[in-house]
């Protein structure tokens, strides 16, 4: 018995896709392969026959791409080859079958993947219930799956990501993505990584507040000023006792700039200093050198400025008390 659709206005009909396609197949598939799948799925509704050459023309791809695409979906278990063509498998039924297949029939790798999939599903469902009151838009599901694969976050880190954005009242896709990018750049994957990151950020914020207080700033630091402090603390590994030495050298300036402070600290880092003792010793040497130079100039009846040779940034250090 053959069933046919009775649709007088086929242009208004729909071709539905299960969510499982977006979460499990779309992120990994080549763009041309997705085109092939979607068009084949569309044709299958009407029990259509189509030649491969016609498919190439319709989709604007080469014969090899069509052949490779059909083979790809066949390997994925999405298509099943027959003598006369292909069967388009039901993805939901396929996933259900894999999920509930008897354990004795599964390989160790399949068992592990199945267990991970079930845990992942529970995590996403928790996010749905906790942060969206069970009404999370379906478009979020493939996004979360993609973030899991892209950032390699543990389930606890993904939950913490949504908690952070929820607490900020910024549960928007672009903001969540931006925070996830920042965490990924800081090499966060496990909850322990995240805990260490929070600890580092807390120390950084404390350092920034101390610097603002020492400089007498009654405003919030700008993004660029904060970036300087991040460099000193995270990249250089400098604690406040070293940074404070640079802050003290701004006392003679009316409007001390972070650029000036940065020049000093970068110079110390380039010289390999990693303690306040090393910096203070260097500054004493500079002070003594400038003092000796001034005494020598006072002895002479004339002064030849072209003979003054300074080390890097000596012009900054010149005539500073300490």
The 3-class secondary structure across the chain, one letter per residue, is CCCCCCCCCHHHCCCCCCHHHHHHHHHHCCHHHHHHHHHHHHHHCCCCCCCHHHHHHHHCCCHHHHHHHHHHHHHCCCEEEECCEEEECCHHHHHHHHHCCCHHHCCHHHHHHHHHHHHHHHHHHHHHHHHHCCCCCCCHHHHHHHHHHHHCCCHHHHHHHHHHHHHCCCCCHHHHHHHHHHHHHCCCCCHHHHHHHHHHHHHHHHHHHHHHHHCCCCCCCCHHHHHHHHHHHHHCCCCHHHHHHHHHCCCCCCCCCHHHHHHHHHHHHHCCCCCHHHHHHHHHHHHHHHHHHHHHHHHCCCCCHHHCCCCCCHHHHCCCCC
Please indicate, yes or no, if residue 3 is contained in any of the structural domains: no
Residue 5 covered by a domain: no
Q: Check whether residue 208 and residue 176 sit in a common domain.
A: no
pTM of full prediction above 0.75: no
Q: How distant, in Å, are the alpha carbons of 48, 149, 158, 299 from that of 32?
A: 21, 21, 31, 84
Q: Mark whether 65 and 138 lie in a shared domain.
A: no
- The pLDDT of residue 67: 87
Q: Let me know: does 77 contact 87? Beta carbons within 8 Å.
A: no
Shared domain for 178 and 125, answered yes or no, is: yes
Same domain, 215 and 274: yes
For residue 95, the model assigns a pLDDT of 66
Domain boundary, last residue among 62, 91, 120? 91
Tell which of 128, 148, 183 closes a domain: 183
Q: Decide if 1 is inside a domain.
A: no
Q: 187 — alpha (psi -120 to 50), left (phi > 0) or beta? A: left
In-domain check, residue 188: no
Tokens of 18: 């299960």
What is the tally of structural domains in the chain?
3
- In this structure, the answer to whether residues 224 and 307 fall within a common structural domain is yes
Residue 289 and residue 200 in one domain = yes
First to last CA, the chain: 98
pLDDT given for residue 106 in this prediction: 44
In this structure, the answer to whether residues 198 and 284 fall within a common structural domain is: yes
**Does residue 214 sit within a domain?**
yes
What confidence tens digit (pLDDT) does each residue in 214-269 have?
888 888 888 899 899 989 998 899 999 999 999 998 876 667 789 989 999 999 99
Residues 249 and 313 in one domain: yes
Q: What is the pLDDT of residue 157?
A: 95
Structural domain of residue 52, as residue ranges? 11-91
Domain termination site, one of 151, 183, 215: 183
pLDDT in the model for residue 180: 94
- Whether 287 maps to a domain, the answer reads yes
Same domain, 179 and 200: no
236 & 271 share domain: yes
Closest CA to 49 of 20, 84, 76, 9: 84
**What CATH number did the domain enclosing 84 receive?**
1.10.10.10
| pLDDT at residue 253, as a whole number | 67
Identify the segments of the chain with pLDDT beneath 70: 1-12, 48, 94-115, 252-254, 299-322
Whole-number pLDDT of residue 136: 87
Domain assignment of residue 70, yes or no? yes
Residue 45 belongs to a domain:
yes
CB 229 within 8 A of CB 265: no
Contacts of residue 237, Cβ cutoff 8 Å, sequence gap at least 6: 274
Residues 145 and 47 in one domain: no
Residues 87, 105 within the same domain: no
| Cβ atoms within 10 Å, residue 243 | 24
């Amino acid at each position: 018995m053959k069933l046919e659709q009775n649709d007088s206005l086929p242009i208004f009909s729909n071709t539905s896709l299960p969510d499982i396609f977006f979460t499990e197949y779309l992120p990994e598939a080549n763009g041309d392969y997705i085109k092939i799948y979607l068009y084949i799925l569309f044709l299958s509704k009407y029990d259509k026959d189509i030649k491969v050459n016609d498919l190439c023309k319709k989709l604007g791809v080469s014969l090899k791409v069509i052949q490779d695409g059909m083979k790809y979906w066949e390997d994925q278990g999405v298509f099943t080859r027959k003598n006369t063509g292909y069967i388009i498998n039901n993805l939901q039924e396929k996933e259900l079958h894999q999920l509930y297949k008897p354990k004795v029939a599964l390989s160790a790798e399949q068992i592990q993947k199945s267990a991970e999939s079930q845990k992942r599903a529970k995590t996403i469902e928790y996010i749905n219930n906790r942060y969206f009151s069970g009404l999370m838009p379906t478009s979020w599901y493939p996004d979360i799956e993609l973030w899991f694969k892209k950032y390699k976050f543990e389930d606890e880190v993904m939950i913490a990501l949504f908690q952070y954005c929820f607490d900020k009242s910024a549960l928007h896709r672009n903001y969540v993505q931006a925070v996830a990018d920042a965490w990924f750049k800081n090499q966060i994957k496990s909850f322990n990584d995240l805990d260490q990151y929070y600890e580092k950020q807390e120390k950084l914020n404390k350092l920034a507040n101390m610097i603002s207080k020492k400089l007498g700033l009654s405003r919030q630091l700008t993004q660029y000023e904060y970036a300087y402090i991040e460099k000193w603390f995270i990249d250089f590994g400098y604690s406040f006792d070293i940074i404070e030495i640079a802050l003290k050298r701004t006392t003679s300036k009316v409007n001390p700039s972070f650029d000036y402070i940065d020049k000093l600290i970068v110079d110390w880092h380039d010289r390999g200093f990693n303690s306040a003792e090393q910096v203070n010793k260097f500054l004493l040497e500079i002070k003594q050198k400038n003092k000796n130079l001034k005494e020598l100039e006072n002895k002479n009846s004339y002064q030849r400025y072209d003979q003054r040779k300074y080390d890097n940034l000596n012009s900054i250090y010149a005539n500073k008390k300490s």
